[in-house]
Amino acid sequence: MFYVQRDAQGLLIRVEAAAYAEATGTLPADHVEIQEWFANVAVEKSLHQLKQSDMEMIRVLDDLIQVLTQKGVIRVTDLPPAAQAKLMDRTHAREALGGLSQLIDEDESGLI
């Protein structure tokens, strides 16, 4: 059994396993609204995790491209013009912050 609170349109705005003062009713765990509520929460959590992971992967890819260009494996000019422009913008921003060394925390040093 879950305690629920609804808005003026009757839509769920809060679901809790324990009773709370603002609860306006209860629903069984197998009720479709409860299932949808928790499905949406799970989707939002997964999307948040992916967004955070995307930010971390951008740093990894940026470092990888830097290493590959420094070793002569690829040239920046091998990339499409839009990618070249973005890399140049990031390179300038990184240089303004002191280069690569400040972007990786000490606890992240073993990633690559």
d(CA 46, CA 107): 24
Domain ranges of the chain: 49-108
Residue 84 CB partners (closer than 8 Å, separation 6+): 76, 77
Spell 33-53 as b/e; 16+ CB within 10 A means b. Answer: ebeebeeeeeeeeeeeeeeee
User: Do 66 and 88 form a contact (C-beta atoms < 8 A)?
Assistant: no
Structure confidence at residue 98 (pLDDT) = 76
The CA angle 98-99-101, to the nearest 5 degrees, is 100
User: Do 5 and 14 form a contact (C-beta atoms < 8 A)?
Assistant: yes
Q: What is the pLDDT along the chain (112 residues), one digit of tens a residue?
A: 999 999 899 988 888 899 999 999 999 999 999 988 888 887 788 888 888 888 889 889 988 998 999 999 999 999 999 999 998 898 888 788 875 555 555 555 544 4
| Runs of H (alpha helix) within 9-31 | none
